[in-house]
Amino acid sequence: MSGFKVDMLVLLAAGVAAGCSSSAPRDGNHSVPVATNQDASQDVQTDAVPPAADCSGRTTAGEVPAEHRAAAMACAPSTRSPAIPDAGLVSCTTSADCTGDGGQSALFATCLHGTCSFDQCLVDADCGAAEVCACSSDYYGGNGAYHANVCVPGNCHVDADCGAGGYCSPSRGHCGSFQGFYCHTPNDRCVDPARDCDPGCANACVYAPTTGAFVCGISACAG
């Protein structure tokens, strides 16, 4: 979303072995873009390092993610939006009708249910087929910054999309904001970062699109 303040995204990877010094998320021997498409360096075999220094992540059978989408939820309109323009909200047919003339009105740029809106969505159906509606109330805005309900990428909408016993979980970026929603798979290097990632190297479990798995990383909020 352009036109309003957001906090800096800082996603650093968990390092490897005792050094834990790498600067990008890890998954196998591939470069792994996560949110800012930062690069990655090579991984090591997890059985070669003790659990206390397992920077690449290690899952345990039967883990259930703390966050997963058992059912799709509708979002309420954002309570952290700019003031409504003096002329009021404009009726629209498409988002092209909401281009405005700059200033505050430019932030109400999405045609949502016939009205130019600061929010991009209220329900998943307001987004594209490969997107999920993420609620503004479910992430931190930071320093009073505006933040809206947003459409984010995803390969699932609910747990059932991930197969029997599957889980559809968010991958989070700066200040807990949403990068997307993805199915957990046997290729994941983490499910619960507190259990699966060494706290000296990582504090988050984030999705790596190029390898289709969750990996250990660092998610920070500046300011």
Q: Tell me the per-residue pLDDT of 91-119, one tens digit each, with 9 for 90 and over.
A: 999 998 887 655 556 788 899 999 999 99
pLDDT (0 to 100) of residue 162: 96
Does residue 50 fall inside a structural domain?
yes
Residue given tokens 């995803």 in the structure block: 154
Cβ distance 20 to 53 under 8 Å? Answer: yes
Does residue 126 fall inside a structural domain?
no
pLDDT band at 126 (very low <50, low <70, confident <90, very high): very high
Does residue 34 fall inside a structural domain?
yes
Domain membership of residue 209 as a residue range: 9-69+186-221
Residue 45, pLDDT > 90, answer no
The count of structural domains within the chain is 1
Does residue 57 fall inside a structural domain?
yes
Taking the model in full, what pTM does it have? 0.71
Neighbours of 36 (CB within 10 A): 12
pLDDT (0 to 100) of residue 30: 31
Does residue 2 fall inside a structural domain?
no
Written as six digits, the tokens of 3 are: 């036109």
Does residue 16 fall inside a structural domain?
yes
- CA angle (62, 63, 67) in 5-degree steps: 140
Does residue 215 fall inside a structural domain?
yes
Mean pLDDT of the chain: 74
pLDDT (0 to 100) of residue 141: 64
Q: Please indicate whether residue 116 or residue 56 has the higher confidence score (pLDDT).
A: 116
Does residue 172 fall inside a structural domain?
no
H helix or E strand, kind and range, residue 182: strand 178-183
